[in-house]
Structure 1
Amino acid sequence: MVYCDYAATTPMSDIALEVYQDVAKNFYGNASSLHDTGGKAMDILEKARAILAEIFHTQSRQIVFTSGGTESNLLAIDTLLRASPIKGRKHIIASEAEHSSLYYHLKELSKSEEFEVTFLPLGEDGQINIEELLNAIQPHTSLVSIQHVSGETGIIQPIAEIGKQLEDKNIYFHSDVVQSFGKMNLEPILPYVDCLTISSHKVFGPKGVGAIYFHPEVTLSPHPVITNHEHGLRPGTVDVPAIASFSASALEQMQQINQNKQHLAYIRELFCEKLEKHQVPLRPITGPEQCPSIVGCIADFVQGDYVMLEYNRNGIDISTGSACSIGYADIPRSITPFISDREEGKRYIRFSFSHLTTEQDISQIIEISNRIFARMKEERIDYGKKVNW
């Protein structure tokens, strides 16, 4: 099997598994309990928080642990809206290509009279037009939320540039960095954001854990529903083993980030070169700046879900979009600048790589790709209507 769906999830690393097992076995107490066993668990929790705080060059109290990227996004948005000095109706600006967890939450907020939401389209290059964003700002604009890296195209948004424009406008700025954390250096954007959201299982940690970084100047007001965990922002017993494992895997990825980034750049270039050289009927989506771990492609003549099934039959795991959006019939919103119509959008597939991806994996993908598309052409199957395997 060749796994090429790292943007959906990653396997737990050896260090993450080791830490999880150790903490689950030896530090099993409830971190909120007042006895010594609970205190030992609390010590582990705070050590994990300190590790992430060091990564983000902040103090431990600015890190909030969650159940994953989705909760991180929802909790971040709601916390920033509560902290906003704007009274009355609040205006939110986001892109049309935000992750589904945030996009549909904002859609729901927009139905309330308390909130107004502006969704900005992507430009032809897949990036937000900063002038359009600035023109969308209103006197009651409280929050801007722009995803750093698209999970479907890998295109990087100009977060630092946007943040610089918002610095003197009394508007909170949030970015979902789930796809870039551990793969890209986030230090250039840290001075210009008020909040970042991350997820453990994208960086070789366990599923069911995430975190939020809040800038020190953000007031962390407790949730209106009385809760007693994570600065009063969320309820539920804290999963200390998973959090410790997450911090260990995140630290490991950050320590290897330059080496892994070079490897990913090489793998992406090799993959795209071989696609062209061997005339594989897949068109990679390209933009001005892209995270090298993600390569979205448009197939020439066949629907993406059938291509994905054929790759699966041949031992290669790819996707047709965000695993968080399975069940939605619509095409990924982030690819709209790169397609001429909806039918072309249905031919989208995604390869996503990691430091574990090898040259041999790429060669095998190309070989199987040629075999798959050659057979599809010969059989002249109408994949959009009926398929007989």
Structure 2
Amino acid sequence: MTATLLTNIGELTTNVAADGDPCGTLHDAALLMEDGRVAWVGPASEAGDVSSRFARSTTGGVTSVVERGAQRRDETPLEVVDVGGRAVIPGFVDSHTHLVFGGDRADEFESRMAGIPYVAGGIRRTVAATRAASDDELRARLLGFVAELHAQGTTTFEVKTGYDLTVEGEARLARLAREVTDEVTFLGAHVVPAEYADDRDGYVDLVTGPMLEAVKPYAKWFDVFCETGAFTPAETHRILLAGIGADLLPRLHANQLGYGEGVAIGVEYGVWSVDHCTYLSDDDVAALAGSDTVATLLPGVEFSTKHPYPSARRLIDAGVTVALASDCNPGTSFTSSMPLMIALAVREMGMTPGEAVWAATAGGARALNRTDVGQLGVGARADLVVLDAPTRVHLAYRPGVPLVRDVFKDGAPV
């Protein structure tokens, strides 16, 4: 058993709503982590009472604390960490990433910045590069991205397949993704691959049959890209029915490139999250507000494609639950930085800093049907970030500055 007491926290974001504050903000706070969970949260002035459960001895300047009365075989050492008035927030929950792929599409980004508009289809370039990559090459790159995520404060993340689009290949991507996260999403319905260009029905049959069966042992979720240039509403219905019938949980890419039926379909099927939501009608907003479906916004995509940013303010004011995610992928948002998503959401999408931090933590947890992460109430996983700043506002106030000082996952430093 291990325990760590963080004390002298200038501002603690718990996301346990209190007194009308959804961020559950505490000042001059302390937090105790034991066995990977949050064991106590309260004022720093009471931290001494918590640590008094433990007996201290100091040797060579290092404080060793052991729980009083404990038998030697189950002694609980306590490490006391003074964070020096810094802010502490829950670890980021990135509910939408595409991290298993080969190749690079920097030339597409350069073209878009020169004024050539984004259209769906570049995915097929990544498919070709991914099919050509070995397991070891894909795994090494994936682990590199995981290290990036951790360094920037992300402690929970989802990973999608979708860059092979063959039965064996999609199973391979899901298997590799499962090595780093339980939140694996089957996205065989990403685009129709070139070899099925003249047989779309045949590809949908493949996705809903042999491919789904091959990927199912590794996946928790399934997803469909319901969009012009990807999958039609009718095809989306077929795929959603098959995925739900296979006991996978549904998600949806929708309304990224223009107005369409995707959001309405997602709400109809009770998907956990509709992602992108760039182009929304009033009926779409009303449908989301009347449902439990999360609207996951991906501002890195708008940054990279020059599409207009969606209005998070419009959604929040209507009562929609909003999450923020990176959509880290090689074509339209090649960033793993949740702090950047927060800064963009505040600057371009009408969110307050508190709303953006909540959306990047608790909102992402809701999009993944998780209650144990994204918040720091007693019993939650001890996944948290110490910022080298006095408040969470600095994530938007100082964009591009590496403010993540320390990251704890399951109570241990990352």
Same fold (TM over 0.5): no
Higher helix share: 1
The TM-score with structure 1 as length reference comes to 0.26
